Every structure is written in structure tokens, then in C-alpha cells.
Structure 1
């Protein structure tokens, strides 16, 4: 797979996108990220390890991946989504529920996400690097069939 100068991904036909990326070397347990609550329309992503050399065997410079516009990673946690406001003129005879409703987000835990690197926030949690991406920065997800 290659990413062109304008950021377009070229994927050979018949090949899976997940074959081009290595999974994170972290074995996450529920307790590792269990106390993280992702807010709103944000997604917690564990970035994949970028390839160190090209398909032709040439080694890539160390800082090259920091300049790429698109990155990939595996979705670890997903926020509740976009809040839906309760209409103020709802039926007056109904009991009002103060519970906030949300429009859910498309990414699910375990999906491979392609996101715009400049729109994310880099964080370190328990010695591991993660990114928090707004839903709008995620361009595509690859979901494995169960």
C-alpha cells in the first residue's frame, strides 16, 4: 500500500488493508483502560507501528512517519456520540426524563481506523501512546467479520 502526495491511499485490489499494518504490541486488559471514559464524539485509538521499510526493501528515515497526513490505529474505546437535545416544547403531560440521548458513532472497539494525524491529540497512558481523535477526523474503518 502506498499513500500518494495528496494523501490518497492506493490499496491493491483483492488485498485486505489489515495485512499492511502490524497490530499494537500491547496486550490491553480491561483494567488497563477500564477507568478511561471517552467523552462526546471522540475515539481512543492505539496507533499502529508504521512500516520501517518500503515494499522494495528501502529503509525509511526515522522522522518520516511524523509528516504523514494519514495514520492508522486500532479503536480501543468510543465515546457515547453526539448528544441529542430534548425539545423544550415536548408534550407537557409526559414525565420528563433528564437522561441525555446520543447519536452513536460508527467506529467500534477493535476496528482499524484511518485518521487525519493533524486533528488528533497524542496522549500517554500507563506508558503507552494513544491518540484521541474526534469522530470527524476518522476517514474510514475496517471491521473484521465475526
Structure 2
């Protein structure tokens, strides 16, 4: 798998590597390539997450007086390695180093499956 170390995810967004699934249905019917990708709901593994939701400053009445402070964030519920079920219409598809990924805001994720060892299995 290609490395994503150089990517910085912004805000409440999540980088998801789509789960590779067979084009065969449960009944044994083979679907043409791309049919599964057009479904409204997709699944994939969370590869990277953004820092979270930015918290507003208390002294916004005089923003020009703000010192060089680091922003504070409310962390995301999503963690790297989670299996995410997400809405495709809220996702942006990108290709990075010849690998397909989705960038999804946390609000576009419907459900997570968390297994502490799932990322190790996915990366191997």
C-alpha cells in the first residue's frame, strides 16, 4: 500500500480507503465493474483523520489583538483503522499515488466498526 504520511487532512474530514469487494452478489450473479461504486452507501477503512472541529476564541470582539496561538479542536469520534460506512454523495473521490481514496466529513459517516487490530490486517 502506498504511504499517506505527507497528506494533512483538514478540520473534521476523514481520508477513507474504499473496501475492496467482489463484484459477485450473494446469489452468485457477477456485476459489471463500477456498479458497486455507484451505490449511495459505501464502506472503507479510515486511513487518516483531521484534527477535529475548531473551537472559537473567547476574545472575538477584538480579533486583531489575538496573539499567535494554536487553534483548539474538539477531536473526532472516528479513529484510524475504523471501518466506516458513509454516504457517497457527501464524499469526494481522489486518486493519490495511483490509489483511490474518499475524503468524507465526519457528518457523512453513518456508522463505524472498530477493531483495534483491523488496521494492521488492512495494511498487510
- Does TM, normalized by the shorter one, top 0.5? yes
- Post-superposition offset of 1:51: 2.5
Q: Distance in 2 between matches of 1:127 and 1:145?
A: 27
Partner of 2:57: 86
Give the aligned length: 111
Which structure is larger by alpha-carbon Rg, 1 or 2?
1
Higher relative contact order, chain-length normalized (CA < 8 Å, sep 6+)? 2
- Post-superposition offset of 1:64: 1.7
Partner of 1:130: 101
Which one of 40, 48, 51 corresponds to residue 77 of structure 1? 48
Partner of 1:103: 74
Are residue 116 (structure 1) and residue 87 (structure 2) matched?
yes
Structure 2 residue matching 1:74: 3-state secondary structure: strand
Q: Distance in 2 between matches of 1:143 and 1:131?
A: 19
Query: Deviations 1:62-95 (Å, cap 9, x if unpaired)?
Result: 3321331000000000000000012118xxxxxx
Structure 2 residue matching 1:62: 3-state secondary structure: coil
Q: In 1, are the aligned partners of 2:81 and 2:116 still within 8 Å (CA)?
A: no
Give runs of ≥4 in structure 1 deviating > 2 Å. none
Partner of 2:23: 52
Query: Unaligned stretches of 5+ in structure 1?
Result: 1-26, 90-95
- TM-score w.r.t. the length of structure 1 is 0.70
Structure 1 residue matching 2:37: 3-state secondary structure: helix
Q: Distance in 2 between matches of 1:124 and 1:66?
A: 15
Q: Distance in 2 between matches of 1:40 and 1:107?
A: 13
Aligned-pair Cα RMSD in Å: 1.7
Query: Unaligned stretches of 5+ in structure 2?
Result: 61-66, 118-124
Q: Distance in 1 between matches of 2:79 and 2:46?
A: 7
